[in-house]
Chains A and B, each alone.
Chain A
Amino acid sequence: MQKFTTDVIIGLEIHAELKTKTKLFCACPTQGSGEPNSRTCATCLGMPGSKPVLNRKAVEHALRVCLALDSGIAKEMVFSRKSYFYPDMSKNYQITQYELPIGTGGSLKLESGKTVSMKRVHLEEDPASLVHPAGVRESSYVLVDYNRSGQPLIEMVTEPEMHSPEEARDFLKQLITVLDYLGVFDSSAIIKADANVSIRESHYTRVEIKNITGFKEIERALGYEVARQREEVREGKAVAQETRSWDSEKGATFSLRKKETEDDYGYIIDPDLVPITIDREYVDGLRSSLPELAQDKLKKFRGQHGIEETTARVLAKDKALAAMYEAVSGEVNPQLAANWVRRELPRVLNYYKKSLGESGITPMHMISLLKLIEQKRITEKTGQRLIEKLGESAFDVEEYVTKEGLGVISDSSLVEQWCREAIKEAPGAAEEYRKGNEKSFNFLVGQVMRKAKGKADPQAVNGVLKGLLRR
């Protein structure tokens, strides 16, 4: 038996919906009406006489994923029929890949720097969805919605190389980032994972957990499962080789079925789909047009721009923020750009609950805003107020600053007047400062800025205040 060096062994099987306009084997749209069974045709309903025709865009997407994961690419596209009876199956077999997956091997690097090996990548169709009108356990019948039937799914299987729930979470996070960067996956779409978990104490008896949605859930589910298995052993029970399901609401896994033998799906090659040769030149073309991925971006932000590690990571792993940062840092100081794109921008987006795309804030807005700050034509305070306003709706920043008179007030007599007033209104604070209390000085600066409505140059205020207080 293989020697494991750790106490927990985890392998993942991840299913992600690929972003295509039409389904995998028919021309039905993947997006649109939510009305049940409105996006269906003879093929995705499994009507007698219908035939599948492969969606080339889905193949292209899958190839890009293989390239990004550095998986070996098959010479031809071959599909198989995986047979089993279930009410969500339009044909009672699923068109998937078996002997010849599109991708074999490969790896993905975690945030920790560790590399997880991939076993395979393959393309398959999604079954229909089952609707339980009165809840899963209570309903006496189910309804079937075939809108999902035939949606393209990519399945990515890892080697059992993760050793903690945190690592599994890290893996899924990194994978989502890659898929997002490739533009093959809609980050609002659902990503599902099945996990194999085993612990040393049970001599690595394999338990499969199905139905885990999203990277936050995976850590919870696996954390629960590892604890459960350890508890079983502690109580002197044997951990059963079985398939369990994750119930997110209850925060627990429950047994679906015991598994003494491997499932038998009676795979045959799907004779309705002729093998399609994957042209090498085509793959090379895809490889050369592959976008820079998060790992490359991180390296670039750190090395070339000298951005500190945490900020660089936050920027690199979000495709939209990274693109914004790259555009802005070409025009203004990268350090300033990084700080604003990392902190101020997400703060505003969070507040309005908008994505960057929805907000309408473009690199142009950010560049003119940060240039004004860089040139000390507005204060950072004013900048913060402006970006908050931008989050609401877009406008021309320069024009607005001029029109509203938001520019830095550099009239020294005005600044001096505000400073004198502040000292006069808070003699106690002035006294405290003279005794050496720095906090009191900050209070006085704050008072001056309030009078200036944030527009006074903080450095000028500092200088004037200090001069006045020294007397």
Chain B
Amino acid sequence: MSILDEVRSGKEDIVEYAEECMQKAKGIDREYRYFTAIAEESAIGQAREIKKNFQKYRGKRLLGVMVSAKDAICVKGVESCAGSRILKGYRPLFDATVIERVKREGGIVIGKTSQDEFGFGSFSVNVGLGFPIPLNPFDRGRSCGGSSGGAAGLARKADFPHIALGESTGGSIAAPSSFCGVFGLTPTYGKVSRYGLIDYGNSLDKIGSIGKSVEEVALLQGTIEGHDPKDSTSLSHPHEGYKELKRNVKGMRIGVIKEAFSDAVEKDVQKGVRSGIARLEEEGAVVEEVSLEFPIRYSLATYYLLAMSESSTNLARYCGMRYGQAGELKGNFNEYFSEVRSKHFGEEAKRRIILGTFARMSGFRDAYYIKAAKVRTLIIRHYRKAFGKYDALASPSTPLLPPKFTDIEKLTPLQHYMIDVPVVGPNLAGLPHLNVPVGMEKGLPVGMLLIGDHLQERKLLEMGMVFDGE
């Protein structure tokens, strides 16, 4: 990052540099469609403000780094839609806490990145009505994964200093990071404030970082984490900073999840991930196979019941009042709300509202919503038990190489949901996990998932450094 050094020392004019970065970002967007909104005006405004108060920003950890935000993360004055047409035109009056922290540390927010509508998908093909589908950086005929697809794609493609803010509810950082060949850290639930994040499933949503290297990911994670009184679920754990990270694998005990290498996982993916595990072993890790049958078997159903129940209540507020899209005022309020919602929600959003509402209705609530909440507790217990023995667990991040759009079209909703099997478990348990790019198969990237115990982000990052710069 030599250009960054020049900007940071004041040798390079930060406003000119920012303008150049914006031009590059726009160029990438024309080809790959990673943005829902490019915030050129506010980004240049930020650069000017830094230039004016350069002394104040000198030495700040993100000074001069371009940061993109998944569309669900609110940026003051910049259209924030969570990828949904129903929020088209919504410009938040406040910054999400993560954005506030990025700006305070001299990071420049360049825009909002594309995603599945409200995070409802694994391929970024469930974009809201009228939003373009982002394309894989290695093959434009393939998916870049989801739901933080734009974030991961941009992290790969950006030819300027850039780190992406992503968000994961059930795997939305790990999966696209795997498909785009970048590092993606999903932190422990509650470690990063959700204030200003447009909710999908509040008990599951986690904002995290996506970058080309462990260093980049750690830089952004260290900036955004730490307690926030504006989010009641935010942990009081002090923020770590992740300075002086060093490659640290020797003697680490790694449990390879047996059930995560089933026949449903493509051979090329298995091969790539196995080679990654071998690398860790070469570096001195103690590798062992571990069975986590219960979480692997029950996580998917549990996850979808809880996430959909929560999201169906979160989406209730989008009814054509106060913000976003409005309709013609006619009929009674029920007719009006229904009209706006029918017209502007995409198909997957409607499916999840219906399923989620069903799961929490009296008569079904005990069998679905309440039971899922109980099973979640059991799943967490299984993971905790494993961490009594291992420093990290390893599995593929996704069961397949980035698929072609034409193949995705053939998937049923259930097959679509199955893609999440490797990643939903740690998401449900609120465990930190890191996608590590372990190499290429057939010209496409393969990602390995390293899962850590609660608050053990540092361990994951230090293991991930083995794959840095490959």
Contact A42 B93, beta carbon cutoff 8 Å: yes
Determine the distance from Cα of A48 to Cα of B92 in the docked complex, in whole angstroms. 8
Tell yes or no: A273 within 8 A of B by CB.
Answer: yes
Q: Is the interface of B mostly helix, strand, loop or mixed?
A: loop
- Chain B residues with CB under 8 Å of A144's CB are 321
- Complex alpha-carbon distance, A87 and B336, angstroms: 10
> Are A46 and B317 in contact, CB atoms less than 8 angstroms apart?
yes
Are B360 and A47 closer than 8 Å at their CB atoms?
no
- Count of A-B contacts judged by CB separation below 8 Å: 99
Knowing A264-B361, A273-B232, say if A51 contacts B194 (CB, 8 Å).
Answer: yes
Return the CB mask of B58-83 against A: 1 if under 8 Å, else 0: 00000000000000011000001010
Contact A268 B309 (CB under 8 A): yes
Which residues of chain B are within 8 angstroms of A158 by Cβ–Cβ distance? none
Distance from A167 Cβ to chain B, minimum over Cβ atoms (Å): 32
A42 near B333: Cβ-Cβ < 8 Å: no
The interface residues of chain A lying within 8 Å CB-to-CB of B321 are: 87, 144
- Is B313's CB under 8 angstroms from A48's CB? no
Determine if A92 and B360 form an interchain contact, defined as CB atoms under 8 angstroms apart. no
- Would you give the 0/1 interface string for B222-253, flagging 1 where the beta carbon is closer than 8 Å to chain A? 00000001111100000000000000000000
Given contacts A85-B333, A87-B333, A264-B362, contact A47 B357 (CB under 8 A): no
Pair B233/A272 contact, Cβ less than 8 Å: yes
**Residues of B in contact, count (CB < 8 Å):** 45
Asked whether B357 lies within 8 Å of A53 as measured between CB atoms, the reply is no
A262 within 8 A of B: yes
Beyond A271-B233, A274-B233, whether A266 also contacts B317 by CB under 8 A is no
A30 within 8 Å of B (CB atoms): no
Of B1-9, B197-205, B265-273, B441-449, the stretch lying at the interface with chain A is: B197-205
B322→A46 contact, CB < 8 A: yes
A48-B87 contact given A85-B334, A268-B310, CB 8 Å threshold: yes
Give A399 Cβ to nearest chain B Cβ, in Å. 54
Interface residues of A in 216-267 (CB under 8 A from B): 262, 264, 266-267
Indicate with 1 or 0, residue by residue over B87-103, a CB within 8 angstroms of chain A CB atoms: 10010111010000000
Query: From B229, which residue of chain A is reached at the shortest CB distance?
Result: A53
Q: Contacts A85-B337, A262-B362, A271-B310 known; A48 to B317 CB distance under 8 Å?
A: yes
User: Do B233 and A268 have beta carbons less than 8 Å apart?
Assistant: no
Residues on A with C-beta less than 8 A from B73 are 49
Residues of chain B with a CB closer than 8 A to A86's CB: 333
Please report the C-alpha to C-alpha distance between residue A264 and residue B198 in the assembled complex, in whole angstroms: 26
Interface status of B365 (Cβ within 8 A of chain A): yes
B373 to chain A: which residues have CB within 8 Å?
A: 269
Nearest-neighbor residue (CB-CB) of B82 within chain A: A48
Query: How distant is the Cα of A45 from the Cα of B94 in the complex, in angstroms?
Result: 13
A91 at the B interface (CB under 8 A): yes
B369 within 8 A of partner (CB):
yes
One of A51, A85, A264 near B231 (C-beta < 8 A): A51
Contact mask for chain A residues 19-47; partner B; CB cutoff 8 A; 1 contact, 0 none: 00000000000000000000000100111
Chain B minimum-CB-distance residue to A99: B370
Closest to B321 in A: A87
Q: In whole angstroms, what is the CA distance A217 to B381 when docked?
A: 55
Q: Can you list, as one digit per residue, whether each of B181-219 has a CB less than 8 Å from chain A (1) or not (0)?
A: 000000000000011111101110000000000000000
**How far apart are the CA atoms of A47 and B203 in the complex, in Å?**
19
Asked if A384 is at the interface of the complex by the 8 Å CB criterion, the answer is: no
Residues of B within 8 A of A141 (CB): 329
**Residue from B195, B198, B316 within 8 A of A93 (CB atoms):** B316
Complex interface bits, B307-335 against A, C-beta within 8 A gives 1, otherwise 0: 00110110011010111000001000110
On chain A, the residues within 8 Å of B80 by CB distance are: 48-49
Q: Chain A residues near B319: list those with CB within 8 A.
A: 85, 92
Question: Is A268 touching B360 in the complex (CB atoms < 8 A)?
Answer: yes
Q: Are B195 and A51 in contact (CB under 8 A)?
A: yes
Chain B residues in contact with chain A, CB under 8 A?
73-74, 80, 82, 87, 90, 92-94, 96, 194-199, 201-203, 229-233, 309-310, 312-313, 316-317, 319, 321-323, 329, 333-334, 337, 357, 360-362, 365, 369, 373
Closest 7 CB pairs of A and B: A92-B316, A271-B203, A271-B202, A49-B74, A266-B360, A49-B196, A48-B198
Known interface pairs A46-B317, A53-B229, A269-B373; 15 further A-B residue pairs with C-beta atoms within 8 A, sorted by A's residue number = A48-B92, A48-B317, A49-B80, A50-B196, A53-B232, A85-B337, A87-B333, A92-B317, A93-B313, A93-B316, A266-B312, A266-B362, A268-B309, A271-B201, A272-B202
